[in-house]
């Protein structure tokens, strides 16, 4: 088990700057997720921790070792790949035990380790099969087993669930969490799926364009997004973002209509953006006049797409709701759940 420290980590591909000045601390036994849109550098950062990519600048330490120039084989980390990266010519048992055999662990100990991993991951029946004969979910579990048996000081996950179907993904999500609770190993988990990030992590690192945008517990990111990017990225359906100008403490839209705006650091006349989550908008007689654009029942909630003053918002309600497109609707905003952002910088104006 070990902590991970990154100081001013950079990655350049020629003139292209992929990661710039990443400072990040991962505590021992912590489970963090790196989340962000594709191309934000999260996988590159993970591969740099693993030693599969060179580090252009800054330092990465695992425990007390600076690992910048340490080859992957000496870092004592295990990684679960999106493609699973199993050894096609070895059996499941061979795949799981490869790392132990390389370390010349005695055969009896290997057998015990493989058997216990197989029991945890429900692979007992498959030990003599080859990867080509397994389903995606089974391969994924073999990849997990291969990482587990070595008992590494750090687990790295590179979008391990993105090739699985939705049901299996939910199941494996729980299994990975349970595994982490049992082994207590420090884990860094990369995903582009914010639901995965929210449900699994002790702490989420949101990345955007090679920088850390915000980090914190899932609740912090959801309740107090530091920027428009995080506000839009975390949460599904995402936060409604309504741009306008601040006048007399209210948001003025293009056509002169006004909306409530929270107390903030914004100046009078400043271009600001109002953020409100769909669950904080509800239909209420006497409220803001709008038209229904569409209604999407999800089973649990019903999403109501509405339009007013050239702005489209989504409201999410618990109760069943039916209306034809074009029906007038009156909306009310929860005024203590509003978010204020500076439109120009994208940063929060929360005081």
Partner 1 sequence: MKGHQRLRWERALDSEAIWPLMAGFGALYLAFFVGYPVIYNLIMSVQQVTLGNISTVFRPFVGLDNYRKLVDDPLFATVFQNTLIFVTGNVALQFLGGLALALFFQAAFPGAAFFRGMILAGWILPPLVIGAVWKWLLASDNGVINYALRGLGIVSGPIYWLSDPATSLIGVTFANVWFGVPFNMILLAAGLAGLPQDMYEAAALDGAGPVRRFFALTLPMLQPTIYALLALTTIYTMRAFDLIWTMTHGGPVDSSNIFPVWSYHLSFELFDFGGGAAVSTMMLVVVFIVALIYVRSVRTERVS
Residues that bind partner 1 (CB under 8 A): 50-52, 71-73, 75, 77-79, 81, 83, 85-89, 98-99, 102-103, 132, 146, 150
Query: CA 90, CA 114: separation in Å to the nearest integer?
Result: 14
Min CB(140)–partner 1 separation in Å: 13
Query: CA 320, CA 22: separation in Å to the nearest integer?
Result: 46
CA 15, distance to chain mean position in Å, is: 28
Place of tokens 């803001």: 288
Min CB(53)–partner 1 separation in Å: 10
Please identify, using beta-carbon distances, which residue of 105 and 332 lies nearer to partner 1: 105
CA-to-CA dists, residue 177 to 31, 33, 150, angstroms: 9, 12, 18
Specify the DSSP class assigned to residue 301.
S
Q: For residue 59, how many C-alpha atoms fall within 13 Å in the half-sphere facing its CB?
A: 9
Please identify, using beta-carbon distances, which residue of 78 and 188 lies nearer to partner 1: 78
Min CB(172)–partner 1 separation in Å: 18
Min CB(52)–partner 1 separation in Å: 5
Specify the DSSP class assigned to residue 348.
B
Please identify, using beta-carbon distances, which residue of 159 and 301 lies nearer to partner 1: 159
Contacts 24+ apart (CB under 8 A), 89-94: 89/130, 90/130, 90/131, 91/127, 91/128, 91/129, 91/130, 92/118, 92/123, 92/126, 92/127, 92/128, 92/129, 92/130, 92/131, 92/134, 92/142, 92/145, 93/118, 93/127, 93/128
Min CB(96)–partner 1 separation in Å: 10
Please identify, using beta-carbon distances, which residue of 49 and 204 lies nearer to partner 1: 49
Please identify, using beta-carbon distances, which residue of 87 and 236 lies nearer to partner 1: 87
Pairing of strands 65-66, 57-62: antiparallel
Please identify, using beta-carbon distances, which residue of 71 and 299 lies nearer to partner 1: 71
Query: To which H or E segment does residue 291 belong?
Result: strand 281-297
Min CB(70)–partner 1 separation in Å: 12
Please identify, using beta-carbon distances, which residue of 86 and 313 lies nearer to partner 1: 86
Bridge partners, 78 (sequence order): 155
Min CB(63)–partner 1 separation in Å: 17
């Amino acid at each position: 088990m070990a902590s991970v420290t990154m100081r001013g980590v950079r990655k350049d591909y020629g003139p292209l700057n992929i990661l710039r000045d990443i400072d990040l601390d991962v505590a021992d036994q912590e489970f963090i997720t790196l989340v962000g849109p594709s191309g934000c550098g999260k996988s590159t950062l993970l591969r740099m921790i693993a030693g599969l990519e060179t580090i252009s600048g800054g330092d990465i330490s695992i425990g007390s070792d600076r690992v910048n120039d340490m080859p992957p084989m000496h870092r004592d980390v295990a990684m679960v790949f999106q493609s699973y990266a199993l050894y096609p010519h070895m059996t499941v048992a061979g795949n799981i035990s490869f790392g132990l055999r390389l370390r010349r662990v005695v055969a009896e100990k290997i057998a015990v380790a493989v058997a216990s991993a197989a029991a945890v991951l429900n692979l007992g029946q498959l030990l003599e099969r080859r990867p080509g004969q397994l389903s995606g979910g089974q391969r994924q579990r073999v990849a997990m087993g291969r990482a587990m048996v070595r008992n590494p000081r750090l687990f790295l996950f590179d979008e391990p669930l993105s090739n699985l179907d939705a049901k299996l993904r939910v199941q494996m999500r729980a299994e990975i969490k349970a595994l982490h609770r049992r082994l207590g190993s420090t884990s860094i988990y990369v995903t582009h799926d914010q639901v995965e990030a929210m449900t699994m992590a002790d702490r989420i690192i949101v990345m955007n364009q090679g920088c850390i945008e915000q980090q914190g517990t899932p609740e912090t990111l959801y309740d107090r997004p530091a920027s428009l990017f995080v506000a839009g990225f975390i949460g599904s359906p995402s936060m409604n973002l309504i741009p306008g100008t601040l006048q007399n403490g209210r948001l003025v839209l293009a056509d002169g209509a006004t909306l409530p705006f929270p107390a903030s650091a914004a100046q009078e006349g400043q271009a600001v953006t109002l953020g409100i989550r769909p669950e904080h908008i509800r239909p209420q007689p006497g409220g803001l006049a709008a038209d229904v654009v569409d209604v999407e029942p999800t089973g649990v909630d019903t999403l109501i797409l509405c339009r007013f003053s050239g702005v489209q918002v989504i409201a999410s309600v618990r109760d069943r709701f039916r209306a034809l497109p074009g029906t007038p609707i009156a909306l009310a905003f929860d005024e203590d759940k509003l978010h204020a952002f500076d439109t120009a910088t994208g940063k929060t104006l929360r005081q």
